[in-house]
Amino acid sequence: MSPSTQTSFQIKSRERVADHGEVFTPDWLVNDMLKLVDREVERIDSRFLEPACGEGSFLAPILLRKLATVRRQYSKSPADYEFRAVLALMSIYGVELLVDNVCACRERLLTLWLAEYEQRLKRPPSAECLATVHFVLERNILNGNALSMKKVDASAQDTQEPIIFSEWSAVTGPLIKRRDFRQDELLRDQDARNSLEQAKGELSLEYVPKSPVREFPPTDYRKLPEAES
């Protein structure tokens, strides 16, 4: 691939570069960076946050590596495979300033997840499971400004609403515990800020405040969208 062709894949328009500094990371660099954290990337429950996720250049290969682990460990049991595949998706977070990139990132992750699911189980997921997958993507891939830690409007301008992440934790059987946290409180701890800086933007979300802004009772993962209301 020529340098000019590589550059064309890294930008959508000069205007977007000028207005928002939007330049996509090339695949070779993404893969080289992920090799540095191979073990963490392959863990199903290891959480990753990409604060300028674009269309998912980092999140997509992370998801594929996690799903490969699910395949190796749980493919003999369809029920276990489905639950762990959902957990893998739940561990991936992204914040993106531009709404079209948010939609593209969600769609990209959904497409990869469905392709892997149908290849392994030889059938599409149930309507309930698919609704949960959509719900998780809406909760985990957010339209906001990771620097100001605020949600943004259609013009990519900050609003007064804080960015809120959902923490998903397996409890027992098919039950998931959800707790919602504000991004600014996640990073209030100086150790968390240092971790984010050292990781150059990728935070494992190990530092969580003691008090979530919202907490939900353990719920069957297929019923999570219903628990929202």
List the beta bridge partners of residue 151. 144
d(CA 72, CA 90): 19
**138 lies in a domain?**
yes
pLDDT of residue 211: 81
Higher-confidence position of 163 and 28: 163
Where in the sequence is the domain holding 102, given as residue range(s)? 25-227
**142 lies in a domain?**
yes
Mean pLDDT, to the nearest integer, of 23-31?
Answer: 62
Half-sphere exposure of 226 (CA within 13 A, CB side): 8
**110 lies in a domain?**
yes
Each residue of 112-137: b (16+ CB within 10 Å) or e?
bbeebbeebeeeebeeebbbbbebbb
* Cβ neighbour number for residue 221 with a 10 Å cutoff: 23
pLDDT above 70 (res 9): no
**20 lies in a domain?**
no
pLDDT above 50 (res 82): yes
What would you report as the CA-atom Rg of the chain, rounded to the nearest whole angstrom? 18
**124 lies in a domain?**
yes
CA distances from 49 to 4, 59, 189, 227 (A): 30, 9, 16, 24
**132 lies in a domain?**
yes
d(CA 78, CA 138): 25
Stated pTM of the model:
0.80
pLDDT above 70 (res 97): yes
**149 lies in a domain?**
yes
**17 lies in a domain?**
no
Mean pLDDT, to the nearest integer, of 130-151?
Answer: 96
Ranges of H-type helices in 48-151: 59-74, 78-90, 99-121, 127-140
Copy the structure tokens of residue 198. Answer: 């050292």
Higher-confidence position of 113 and 194: 113
Mean pLDDT, to the nearest integer, of 154-177?
Answer: 95
**Residue 161: its H or E element:** strand 158-162
pLDDT above 80 (res 43): yes
| Count of the separate structural domains present in the chain | 1
Higher-confidence position of 65 and 1: 65
Q: Is 99 in contact with 143 (CB distance < 8 Å)?
A: yes
d(CA 140, CA 93): 5
With a pLDDT cut of 90, the percent of the chain lying above it is 62
d(CA 225, CA 107): 18
* Candidate from 3-17, 182-196, 208-222 with smallest mean pLDDT: 3-17
Residue written as token pair 């027992």: 172
Mean pLDDT, to the nearest integer, of 2-13?
Answer: 42
Phi and psi for 115 in degrees, rounded to 5? -60, -45
Residues 68, 70, 74, 78, CA torsion sign: negative
